[in-house]
Amino acid sequence: MNQAEQRQKVCRLVDDRRDEIIRVLQTLVQFPTPTGRETEGQKYMQSLYSDLGLKVVAFEADTAKIRRHKAYVDSGFGFKDRPNIIGILEGKPSARSLILNGHMDVVSPEPVAEWQYPPWEGKVVGNRLYGRGAWDMKSGLTASYFALKSVLDAGLKPRGTVMLQSVIEEENLGGGGTLACFLEGFTADGMIIPEPHMKITLAHPGILFFRVRVVGKPAHAGEAHTGVNAIGKMNQVYQAIVALDERRAEQQHYPLFERNSGRSCHICIGTYRAGDWISTVAGWAEMECRLSYLPGEDVDEVKDQVRQAVKAVTRRDGWLAQHPPEITWLARFADAWEQAPDAPFVTAFKNIADKVLASGAEISGATWGMDTRHAMYFNLPAISFGPDGENIHGINECVDLDSVIDCTKIFALFIMEWCGI
């Protein structure tokens, strides 16, 4: 067979096993795998990799090793019985190697009662498969597996090494997954992570988390006028953070991010807690925030913007001037990441994707953190490109099944292109 015939045969195999691809994805969705509980899903991936005849490595992250790396984030979970699963098809060292990486963990499906279909069922309705993790990103794991399987079933052998990685704790930026794999030596000449969206994603912002705490003066409800309510004081801080978010959105621009969301950076105020008794003037209030910053921005300067915004409030309020709000920067973070668009890895992938997709593959950026960022510490090119869907992290999350098939074809053809046959 010539190259064109090889490609046609592989794509036909992918089309012919559509029902099998859907069944495997359904099975994966039916494993409830919130971060910290990935074990059963990982066992299933291990069985798939073994059935494909791959060399399978299952290992638990070494805390002592990974915590020394600058990108390490403590997820708060131990690693016992939470293995990373790697399936390796070994090739020639002289040929280019490839990693197809995906995370097993998913976010909580709550409130479950609001779902149209049970989140762990994997219900297929028309061209959509519903369930928590269906889009983010068990469909990507499934597409990666069937891409390699289709190449092999076509009687073709990649010249370079192909590595399938199913990892833990991506959702909370933990270090026990992709980072641990790299530190154990499981790297390659390029990596694809099929996160949501059928766009070639080449960048994501840096992410910081912080908490602001304000104290008030508690008092009995019957003498509330003698107290100082921390809720009212925190409301001023809230408005200052909202104003800072709006200023940053006006001043900071990164075109690849704006293609995806219309804005380059965000400050999300995610939690607000105050007081502990309904009949007592609230003596404390806490607010937790997630801040994103652009590649190239100085992290210390960004943090100082937050500090100055809060200080401006304290200067206007007598109580806060005497009792300054406390800002705590949390240990969870992600460094900003960007991949050069003219890298051979990127251009080679785009050429393949453009052949499969009628409208071509758009270059874009993500406004959230991904495991692609770990590639920059190990000098390997990386992109994100995955199926399309709706309601990521939301109620009625679903994946477009046609896009899963298209992704499978693209990954299969790229294995042939990048690693050789």
Q: Within 10 Å of residue 222's Cβ, how many Cβ atoms? A: 8
| pLDDT number for residue 57 | 98
| pLDDT number for residue 33 | 98
| pLDDT number for residue 273 | 98
Residue 388's closest CA among 375, 379, 397? 397
**What are the sequence ranges of the domains in the chain?**
3-202+339-419, 206-334
Q: For residue 145, which phi and psi values (nearest 5 degrees)?
A: -60, -50
Residue 34's closest CA among 1, 75, 5? 75
Asked if residue 100 lies in contact with residue 411, where contact means CB atoms within 8 angstroms, the answer is: yes
- The Cα 407–Cα 139 span in angstroms is 9
Give the E-state strand segments of 275-325 in sequence order: 284-293
- The Cα 182–Cα 103 span in angstroms is 14
Asked if residue 212 lies in contact with residue 310, where contact means CB atoms within 8 angstroms, the answer is: yes
Q: What is the pLDDT along the chain (421 residues), one digit of tens a residue?
A: 899 999 999 999 999 999 999 999 999 999 999 999 999 999 999 999 999 999 999 999 999 999 999 999 999 999 999 999 999 999 999 999 999 999 999 999 999 999 999 999 999 999 999 999 999 999 999 999 999 999 999 999 999 999 999 999 999 999 999 999 999 999 999 999 999 999 999 999 999 999 999 999 999 999 999 999 999 999 999 999 999 999 999 999 999 999 878 899 999 999 999 999 999 999 999 999 999 999 999 999 999 999 999 999 999 999 999 999 999 999 999 999 999 999 999 999 999 999 999 888 999 999 999 999 999 999 999 999 999 999 999 999 999 999 999 999 999 999 999 999 9
Global pTM reads: 0.93
CA distances 166 to 26, 140, 368, Å, are: 17, 10, 20
Sheet holding 206-215, edge to edge: 267-274, 284-293, 206-215, 326-334
Q: Take residue 214 and report the two structure tokens written for it.
A: 């304000």
Angle (CA) 285 287 292, round 5°: 165
- The Cα 328–Cα 301 span in angstroms is 16
Task: Give the amino acid at 114.
Answer: E
Q: Which CATH homologous superfamily contains domain 3-202+339-419?
A: Zn peptidases (3.40.630.10)
Does the domain formed by 206-334 have CATH 3.30.70.360?
yes
Asked if residue 194 lies in contact with residue 147, where contact means CB atoms within 8 angstroms, the answer is: no
Asked if residue 77 lies in contact with residue 34, where contact means CB atoms within 8 angstroms, the answer is: no
